[in-house]
């Protein structure tokens, strides 16, 4: 019978959470949840950053002679169909892991089957088991306790190192660790949370936050939670046009969240009342359509002409942002300054990325498109910390309780399931 756990609470940070080094994993069956959701094109991995980020935790478990079971999602499959299997299989990820670790990575296609128990027991020191895409199982996104109970039946230690998924209440992130007494985090999550805590408990001043992207609604939680801590805010990207519209400035046919204009007006008042410096675009790169290599022009002011759409910050705005970056001691950036994925609208975002890289400040880039931007600008190696989880890093900075983190705090657990001895059928 499964006893219900007490609420984990929200002590914050890593309080009450054990790291992999604090757990006894020697020769144990260790289930490691990773974020191996790498970009792929025609079945080929185009960026293995997330795979490389998982290596330290895997290598530590190998050193401890653990029997390792890896799990991850990949993409957003609609179900377990032949088409989804072809598009979202972790087979290429397993192959890349095998190359990087110089050992056999065995892809197990039916994690919900009973045969997996024999596979786990039979792993040699030169073998790792990789479960097929967790999202092929209908129970994963439903946070199924039935799925979790099956996985727990062959797991002695649970390690979460999937920061990019830690805000999801999914079976391998939330339900499963609630069943395992020996549970904790890997090196990647430890690093991520430590860096984000630097922002929430900031001691360096001035503190500058740059926010971009399409929607004010996506960043409102971060603005709210960091309002008292940040000295200066820069708002760029399409979300800036909602703030400009809130001031009665013409935005042409630029993207605007009309239902968030009142919210933007309220935020503008709060910035002013708290004496927080706010930098909005004072000029733009505009075009008549959002298309690669379309003719563009720079506006002389913040006003955007009728029939034109703003798709990047202009040179005056870029100079203002570069000057603000040069004064800061700690900087957080999330969201591009324009539609950088299509030339010629990448210039503003790339110049901001370069300014961050050349700054003497502590710099934290918060996942998603911002990571792509610093990598595309060729300056990623000069950023103090680049988060692997866009949504997770934002929710953490909003002060939200993240299901995958809270369940790891060492409070009561539901049950500690022991793995039965495999039968002859399991081993065959």
Q: Give the ranges where 64-115 is alpha helix by DSSP (H).
A: 82-88, 91-101
Q: Give the ranges where 290-346 is alpha helix by DSSP (H).
A: 315-327
Read off the pTM. Answer: 0.86
- Indicate if 50 belongs to the active site: yes
What's the CA gap between 251 and 165, in Å, rounded?
36
Q: Give the ranges where 247-313 is alpha helix by DSSP (H).
A: 261-273
Domain-by-domain residue ranges, the chain?
20-185+409-427, 195-397
Torsional sign, CA 190, 191, 197, 202: positive
Set 368, 389, 390, 404: catalytic member: 368
Does domain 195-397 match CATH 3.40.50.1260? yes
- Indicate if 9 belongs to the active site: no
- Indicate if 368 belongs to the active site: yes
Token representation of residue 155: 């797991």
Set 28, 33, 50, 351: catalytic member: 50
What's the CA gap between 208 and 363, in Å, rounded?
10
Closest CA to 407 of 38, 29, 9, 115: 9
What's the CA gap between 89 and 77, in Å, rounded?
10
Report the 10 Å Cβ neighbour count for 81: 12
pLDDT digits (tens, 9 = 90+) for 43-53: 899 889 899 99
With beta carbons less than 8 A apart as the criterion, state whether 26 and 414 touch.
no
Token representation of residue 307: 């029939």
What's the CA gap between 380 and 371, in Å, rounded?
8
How confident is the model at residue 134, as a pLDDT?
95
Set 221, 391, 399, 409: catalytic member: 391
Set 18, 87, 142, 215: catalytic member: 215
Of 3.40.50.1220, 3.40.1280.10, 3.20.20.100, 3.40.50.1260, which CATH number belongs to 20-185+409-427? 3.40.50.1260
Same fold, 20-185+409-427 and 195-397: yes
Q: Give the max Cα distance, the chain.
A: 78
Counting as low any pLDDT under 70, the low residues of the chain are: 1-11, 411-428
Q: Give the ranges where 122-274 is alpha helix by DSSP (H).
A: 145-152, 187-200, 216-226, 239-246, 261-273
How confident is the model at residue 370, as a pLDDT?
87
How confident is the model at residue 418, as a pLDDT?
42
């Amino acid at each position: 019978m499964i006893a219900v756990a007490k609420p984990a609470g929200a002590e914050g940070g890593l309080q009450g959470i054990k790291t992999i080094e604090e757990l006894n994993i020697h020769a144990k069956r260790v289930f490691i949840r990773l974020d191996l959701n790498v970009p792929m094109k025609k079945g080929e991995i185009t960026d293995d950053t997330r795979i490389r980020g998982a290596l330290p935790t895997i290598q530590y478990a190998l050193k401890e002679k653990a029997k390792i079971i890896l799990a991850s999602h990949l993409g957003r499959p609609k179900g377990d169909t032949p088409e989804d299997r072809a598009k979202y299989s972790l087979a290429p990820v397993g192959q890349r892991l095998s190359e990087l670790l110089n050992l056999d990575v065995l892809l197990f296609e039916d994690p919900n089957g009973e045969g997996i128990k024999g596979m786990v027991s039979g792993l040699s020191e030169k073998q790792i088991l990789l479960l097929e895409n967790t999202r092929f199982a209908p129970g994963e996104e439903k946070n199924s306790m039935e799925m979790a109970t099956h996985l727990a039946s062959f797991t002695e230690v649970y390690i979460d190192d999937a920061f990019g998924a830690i805000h999801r209440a999914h079976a391998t992130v939330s339900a499963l660790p609630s069943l395992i007494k020996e549970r904790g985090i890997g090196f990647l999550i430890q690093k991520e949370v430590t860096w984000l805590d630097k922002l929430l408990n900031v001691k360096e001043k001035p503190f500058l936050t740059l926010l971009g992207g399409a929607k004010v609604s996506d960043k409102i939680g971060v603005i709210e939670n960091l309002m008292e801590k940040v000295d200066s805010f820069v708002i760029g990207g399409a979300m800036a046009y909602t703030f400009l519209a809130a001031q009665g400035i013409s935005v042409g046919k630029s993207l605007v969240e009309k239902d968030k204009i009142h919210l933007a007006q309220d935020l503008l008042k709060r910035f002013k009342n708290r004496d927080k410096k706010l930098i909005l675009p004072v000029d733009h790169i505009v075009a008549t359509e959002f298309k690669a290599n379309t003719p563009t022009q720079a506006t002389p002011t913040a006003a955007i002409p009728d029939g034109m759409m703003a798709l990047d910050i202009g040179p005056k705005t870029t100079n203002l942002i570069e000057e603000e970056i040069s004064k800061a001691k700690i900087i957080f950036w999330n969201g591009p300054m324009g539609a950088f994925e299509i030339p010629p609208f990448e210039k503003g975002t790339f110049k901001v990325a370069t300014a961050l890289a050349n700054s003497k400040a502590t710099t934290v880039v918060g996942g998603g498109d911002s990571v792509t931007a610093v990598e595309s600008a060729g300056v990623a190696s000069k950023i103090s910390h680049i988060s692997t989880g866009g949504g997770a890093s934002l929710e953490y900075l909003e002060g939200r309780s993240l299901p995958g983190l809270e369940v790891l705090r060492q409070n009561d657990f539901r049950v500690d399931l022991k793995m039965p001895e495999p039968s002859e059928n399991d081993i065959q």
